Structures are given as structure tokens and as C-alpha cells.
Amino acid sequence: MARLFVRLKLSLLRNGLRRGWQQVIATVFGALYALPIAVLAAVGFTALGRRDDLAELAPTVLLLALTVLTLGWLLVPLLAFGLDETLDPLRLRLLPLSRRQLVVGLAAASSVGIGPLATLLALTGVVVGFTPFGLGAAIVLAAVAAQFAVCIIGSRALATALSARLRSRRGRDVAAFSAAFLGIAVASLGQLPNLLFNVGDLDAEGGQLLRLAEQAAGVLRWLPSGWAASAIVEAAAGRLLPALLWLTGAVLLVGGLARWWLRALENTAVGSEAVGGGRLRDAPLFPRVVGFLPRNRTGAAAARELRYLWRIPQLRVQLLFVVLVAVGAAVAVAVGVGQRDPRLVLAAPLVTFFYGLGSLNSYGADRAAVWLLVVSGSGSQADLAGKNLAGVLVMVPIVTAMSVALAAATGGWSYVPVAMLAGLALLGISFGVGNLASVLAPMPMPESGTNLWATSGGAGCATLLVQLIAFTVQGLLLLPVVGGFAAALLLRPALLPLAALGVLVWGAGVWWVGLRAAANTGDARGPELVAALSRPTA
Amino acid sequence: MAVEAGGAAFRVRGLRKVYGSKVAVDSLDLAAPRGSFFGMVGPNGAGKTTTLRMVTGLLRPDAGSAEVEGIDVWLDPLEAKRRIGVLPEDVALFDRLTGRQLLTYSGLLRGMPATTVAQRTEELLDVLGLTEAEGTLVVDYSHGMRKKVALAVALLHAPRVLFLDEPFEAIDPVSARTLRAVLEQHRANGGTVIFSSHVMELVERLCDTVAVLHAGRLVALGRLDQVRGNGSLEDAFVSLVGADEVAGGEGLRWLGSSSG
């Protein structure tokens, strides 16, 4: 059974490559990225275990590294790559396979791939580096095998357990919020080293970091993710009995994860299909809060976009991300991280950057439904302008709130109007470029809500290239804004309102040029737009 | 069968579409009379969907021209599209909206005044039996309901010519009857219905004019009685495409036995 599943996985991978050269390039890049890192890790582990001068660091580093590895295996597939839908247990449930056969088969198939290969490479380094002579060797080998199993099985178990929840729309919403929250948490954890390095000088820092790492390791070795690593460390040091105990724990952990996976598979197999969301009151197209929108093409497009921003999980996550970034930054300043310069209020408009990224692919969420736009002959200008209007309606309150919050924290109230004008200007620039990019290189967003950070699937190389160029152009066009403000701030602060108005004119001009160009292109390229957005995203 | 110029609901001349090495539509010449219930039949891959997409502006032809009521679809798209209503096979809609919101949006998109849109939306939702689905997003609709709401979208702006691609595919009989009633009313008011299908019995029951397509070419065109002669449309079709011998039946001896 295991062999059969491995062959299935290999066939799927091979056929995936056959779908197009962009898949081949993606795989090659993935391999080129992951494998050298794995080799480096292997070399690092070998050195760690064999060199005497690193001996006291070895246990700590190994523990931390393997904990990160385990966590990565658990979380990254969920956050970054979604469920491996080619091995979706739901597709196999009609086959007369016992759950045990399924687990064995899927585990074998999950061990095939670039990720598992890279992990195995890195773990080989651990084996080479930490294997002592004698009985300890067997323990180390077993522990490494257990570590690999924990990664693979734990990852699949978690994914399967969540898959049922992720299939219902409510579950996806919860996942969307958690993912956004997790993203922010990770990003802010990344700030910790900065905070740490703010204290003391270089020598003290190094020692302080090491002490922190040792404390962390002391805690982490008790978590399940650290049991296999502890077994390796103890065996390498010659303490066989503790090593054996840790190893037993790790093996039991593997068994427990497998059992969890079995149960999750059973639940998935007999669980309900995705049940539709609850009934809403039948609201009119125009949300009441924006009832002032005109009832024409642009207004209707704006209303629809607003509804979509809330109802499509991927867009909602992006919106939440923007809000959380804004809130996080405001809180950080208020709490006193960094200096309290009133001019910080001018940083508020930068939050529009994240929304502007999404505008590079405005039709992504509409997917194949754009045929309705093409067949109605309404022209792309109204639709794009409507989307931009929706963006402005969403971002203006956010920028305003953020400016006010920062002003309250830093006392820079005089900068608030300037910040709002700058925000509008930045939006104008983002949308101007984004509109053109959206009609030149549209990419459909995947239907599945399991991978909420996926904003494109199966995009061709040319499409990605255009998006990259558009992104660069967006940045370049922002330079005059930054330059103008910097000049005004440094040379003659009284000129700041003038700079703001100038920047607003610049932003409006870029927006109008971009919109007209996009409208002409979009109208001429209707069928191509539909074709690009109807491409299957799996 | 000759259709006088200007009297055609739609006309294609030399229409051609090639995908790589496969010729989907091969220099097609076709015209449908106004006010008719026109059926395009053919097996899967005959080029029906491709032709319909080229006539409605969704697919760019490699050669040839397409006109709807005398207006060239590719030279004067705005005028042509005003007269066209389309119900494609894979009904991709803005499905994160409710039925009413979707109809309002499509109406406003076509530049119709808001009051007209509101009034027609209510009527269409009522006639098509979609009012119980109030508050449900289109993405949660059943297949039949999706087709009905898509038909409502296609009808909202009162088009002259309706293009439907496999409209009755996977539809329950109740929804199908509703669809048929609406199409009949459209025709009674002077409109034309063009629909493609591979289900011959359906075409026989509904259409008065038939075009038979095979491998991207027109094989027969005319009134239903003319095309099917004395037999059924299915027999006529099968003999036209030259697949007289029916395969299958020999072999497969294990089928239905319980020896696994």
C-alpha cells in the first residue's frame, strides 16, 4: 500500500510538471532554494556535533533548530501552501481502504517531495554530527527517524483535523482571522532581536543572547516537539538511560499523532459537506453606510467591491491585515517603542501600501465572472473606477484613524491633514499603476479557502513578470512623494501643506493616466481577460 | 436554407478558431432567422460553445465575422452587446452576492436606470421562483437555481437575441419547465432564442430551426422537419456524422457479474 501511494504521488508530481514549463520552473526554484539550505543545515549540524569548541552550544542549538523545524512543518503548510489537495483524503474516501491503510499510504506519499527531501538532508547532518560510537548510535538513528515522522505525521494530522473546519465558510473566516493574527504575531516577534540589541554593547549582547537561548531551550525540551532532540543530545553525551526515556516519549508521540490523524480521517470521511453559510437579511446591493453612492456603473461597481472585500476570505484577510498593521503601529508608538516624534503622524499614509498591493490584481477575486463585464459592453473604466472608489472609502477612515491615534500619542495634530492628503495621493498612485497591471496581467485567485494567503494560482511567468514590473513602477512613482515630504520637512516645514497639495495633484494625475490607459487596454482585451481569469487555479 | 440579410438574428461568415493544432471551428457560415427557436446540435467538441463565444464577444475569432441583427459584434461591440443576452455553460457569476444584489448589479452595469432595474429584478425573481432564496448568496445556490439566476441576468436588459449554451444541462424538470416558459414568452414578444445542446430529444421538442455541427463544420441547416426527415433527430444526426455502427456491447462480459 505504501509503495502504491508513493507511486501515485510521484505520478502526480510528474504530471504536475507536465502541465507547463512554469510548473517546472517553480519546482526547480523550490529545489534550488530548499536544497542548498538543507545542505548548509546538514553541514552546520555536523560541525555542531563534531567540533569541540561548539560542544557547549550544541545541545541548545540543536534543540532550538529541531523545534523550529517541527513548528515549521506544522504551520507553514497551513499558512503558506495550503492543504496538499492532490492527497486530499476526501478524494480517496470512496475507495475501500481501511483507515490504517490510508494513514500508511498517505504518510508514505507525504514523505515524497522537495520539503521532505530537504528535511531528510538536514537530519542526515544531525546523524553524522551527533552519532556516538556504541549503543548510543542506535538511539540517535531512531530519534532522528522519530523526528522526521513527527514532522510529517504531525503536519498531516493537523491539516486533516482542520480540513473539516476549513471547508465550512465559518471555519474559513476563523482561520482567516487566526492566520492574520499569527502573521502579525510573527512579524512582531521579529522585532524582538531589535529590542534586545538596543540594550548594552556587543559583548554583553552576545552573552545575553546565549543566556536567553539557553533558557528557551530549557523550556522547549519539555514540549513534545523537543523530545526527539533531547534524546539525540543525551545519547550523544553518552547518557543512555535518559536518552532511551526521551526516545520512548518521541515514539509514543509519533503513535499518538498517527492515532489523531486516523481519527481526523474518519471524521473527514463521514463529515458533512461544506454547509452554506447562514442566511443573511436580503440587503440591497448598496450597503446602507455608503448609501450616498450614485446608482450608476461606477457606484454599482464600488458597492459590489465593498461587498466582496468582506465576503471573499482572501480579501478579508488582506483588509484585516491592513487594519492590524495600523493598530499595531499606533499601539507600538503609544507604548513608547522608539521616539515620540510628532512627525511620526506622517507615517500613517504608508499603511495604504498594503492595500495598494492588492490593487495590482483587482480582478483576482472576480475570477471567471468577468465575462459578465465583457458581455455587458459596459467598459472597464467604470468598473476600475468603482473598485478604486471602494478602496478609497475603505482606506480613508483607516488612515484618518491611524493619523489621529498617532497624533494623540505624539502630539503631532498639525500633521493630520497633511497625512490624510498624502494618503489619498498614495492611493491614487497605487491605483493608477494597479489598474493597468490588473488588465495587463490578471491572475485568478484560487477558489479554495484552505489557503488564505494564496492570492494567485497557476500564473504564467509573463504574468508574474508584469506584476513585478508594476510593483516596481509603483515604488518608483512613490519616490516623488517621499522626496517632496522629506525636502519640506528638512528644509522648510512651513511648506509642508504646499508639498501635500503638490503630492495630491501628482497622485491624481498618475491615477487618471493609469485609469485611462487601463480602460482602453481592458476594452480591447476583453476576451483575453476572460481567458486569463478562467484558467483553473488548482 | 437562405435567410435574407437583415432578417437574421445572427449570422457568421467564415468564422474560424484554431487552438494549437486543433481546429475548433472551421470556416463556419451560419445564419439564424429572427423570432425562431434555433437549436445548434452536435457532439461534445463540435464547436458549438466556441461558436457561441465568438458570436457574443467572449472569444476572439482567428478569422471571419459575426453579426447580431445586422450589427458586427467585433466592429461595433457596444450596439451589438446591447441586443445580446448570454447564458454560458459554466455559469461563473459574482456569487458572493445574493440573487437580488447580483441582478441589481448587472442592471446598473448596463447603464439602466435604478428604478427600472429594481422593478424588473422583482419580476424576474418572482417569475423564476427565486424569492425564497432571499438572503442566500449565489455561491450557495443549487445548480438549477444558479442557472435560473443566470437566465435572469441574461434577460434583465430585455435583449433581442438570447444565446444559451446547454441551458438544460443537469437541471431538474421543475426548473426546466420554468426556463422553457420564460423562453417561450421571450419569443412570443419577438425575441430569438439560440441554444446549443447535445440532447437531441430536447432540441426536437423545443426548436423550429436546427443547425447540426460536427468537428467544427456545419453539416446540416434548416427547419426541424427538413433536417430530421422521417426519423428522429438523433438518427438523422448519427447518420450525418457517419457513426452508424453502434459500438459497445461486445466484450465487457464481466460487467454486472459479482466476481469483482
Q: Tell me what pLDDT residue B95 has.
A: 82
Angle made by CA atoms B161, B35, B237, in degrees to the nearest 5: 90
DSSP for A412-452, written as a single string: -GGGHHHHHHHHHHHHHHHHHHHHHHHHHS--PPPS-SS-T
Q: Residues 123-162, chain B: which have Cβ within 8 Å of A?
A: 134-137, 139-140, 153
Q: How confident is the model at residue B232 (pLDDT cuts 50, 70, 90)?
A: confident
User: Is 70 exceeded by the pLDDT of residue B247?
Assistant: no
Which residue from B27, B31, B26, B38 is spatially nearest to B2, judged by alpha carbons? B31
How large is the average pLDDT for residues A263-273? Answer: 65
Cβ of A366 within 8 Å of Cβ of B94? The answer is yes
User: Is 70 exceeded by the pLDDT of residue A181?
Assistant: no
What is the nearest CA distance from B44 to chain A, expressed in angstroms? 20
How large is the average pLDDT for residues B130-144? Answer: 83
Contact A197, A205 (CB under 8 A): yes
Residue A409: CB atoms within 10 Å: 19
Contact B50, B56 (CB under 8 A): no
Q: How confident is the model at residue A449 (pLDDT cuts 50, 70, 90)?
A: very low
Q: How confident is the model at residue B113 (pLDDT cuts 50, 70, 90)?
A: very high
Cα dist. A537→A448, A457, A467, B131 in Å?
9, 5, 17, 33
Residue type, B123: E
Separation CA B27–CA B73 (nearest Å): 17
How large is the average pLDDT for residues B211-238? Answer: 86
b/e burial code for range B112-149 (CB count within 10 A of at least 16 → b): bebeebbebbeebbebbebeebeebbbbbbeebbbbbb
Residue of A nearest to B156 (CA): A376
pLDDT, tens digit, 9 for 90 and up, residues A91-131: 666 677 777 777 788 788 878 777 788 888 888 888 888 88
Cβ of B97 within 8 Å of Cβ of A276? The answer is no
DSSP for A13-63, written as a single string: HHHHHHT-HHHHHHHHHHHHHHHHHHHHHHHHHHHHHH-GGGTTTHHHHHH
- Residues with Cβ < 8 Å from A321, sequence gap 6 or more? A180, A183, A184, A354
Torsion, Cα A79 A80 A83 A86, to 10 degrees, reads: 180
Query: pLDDT above 70 covers what percent of chain A?
Result: 77
φ, ψ of residue B14 in degrees (nearest 5): 60, 30
Cβ of B57 within 8 Å of Cβ of A377? The answer is yes
Q: Which helix (H) or strand (E) is B18 found in, with range?
A: strand B8-19
Residue A259: CB atoms within 10 Å: 13
Ramachandran class of A446: left when φ > 0, alpha when ψ lies in -120 to 50, beta otherwise: beta
Query: Across the interface, which of A283, A297, A372 has its CB nearest the CB of B111?
Result: A297
Contact B159, B84 (CB under 8 A): yes
Q: How confident is the model at residue A186 (pLDDT cuts 50, 70, 90)?
A: low
ipTM metric: 0.85
Q: Residues 507-536, chain A: which have Cβ within 8 Å of B?
A: 526-528, 530-531, 534
Largest CA distance in chain B: 67
Query: Across the interface, which of B77, B95, B136 has its CB nearest the CB of A377?
Result: B77
Cα dist. B99→A284, B90, B104, B147 in Å?
10, 17, 9, 11
Query: Across the interface, which of B81, B93, B108 has its CB nearest the CB of A296?
Result: B108
Cβ of B95 within 8 Å of Cβ of A369? The answer is yes
Count of residues in chain B: 260
Q: Tell me what pLDDT residue A199 has.
A: 46
Provide the β-strand partners of residue A367. Answer: none
Helical ranges in B11-83 per DSSP H = 48-55, 77-83
User: Is 90 exceeded by the pLDDT of residue A34?
Assistant: no
Cβ of A285 within 8 Å of Cβ of B100? The answer is yes
Residue of A nearest to B136 (CA): A279
Q: Tell me what pLDDT residue B117 has.
A: 93
Q: Tell me what pLDDT residue A238 has.
A: 79
User: Is 90 exceeded by the pLDDT of residue B154?
Assistant: yes
